[in-house]
Amino acid sequence: MIDLDKNALRFFRILFVVSAIWNFAGAIPGLMDTAGMFEREFGRELSDPVLVAVYRGAWGTAFLYGFGFLMVAANPVRHTGIVLMGGTGKALFAINLLFMHLNGWTSPFAILVIVGDIIFIALFIAYFAMLKRHGHSII
């Protein structure tokens, strides 16, 4: 294992536990009450069963990434690929949700999701920068 400062390692472990909690905080309600979560996020009813299934599937992906971030918390140096995939997913989702928000397609609740994901993306970039400074390949 690369010699990271103990404080940095602790920070990144905490970061990825919090990342997992963030994912679970959206995914569990999204899986349990898919239509209700859609209404909170977009301010409109979701009644088409096909779209309910698609939206529930997106929350299933977020749920799985929560477990991935827990794996990263256990060994932040080893599981960089999970962070790269999860961070890319967060970035793409935040960009898409921002686009939808700017077009008036979301409720104000979406701002919380956008800002939260942007914060995680910035912290993930700091994580990769720290690993790179210590000579670790990102992939």
15-73 pLDDT, tens digit per residue, is 999 999 999 999 999 999 999 999 999 999 999 999 999 999 999 999 999 999 999 99
Q: Residue 3 — pLDDT band, cuts 50, 70, 90?
A: low
Q: Is the pLDDT of residue 1 over 70?
A: no
Q: Is residue 119 part of a domain?
A: yes
∠ Cα 46 50 53 (to 5°): 80
Q: Is residue 1 part of a domain?
A: no
Report yes or no: 69 and 86 within 8 Å, Cβ to Cβ: yes
Q: Is residue 70 part of a domain?
A: yes
What is the distance between the alpha carbons of residues 2 and 134, in angstroms, rounded to a whole number?
Answer: 7
Q: Which domain holds residue 40?
A: 6-133
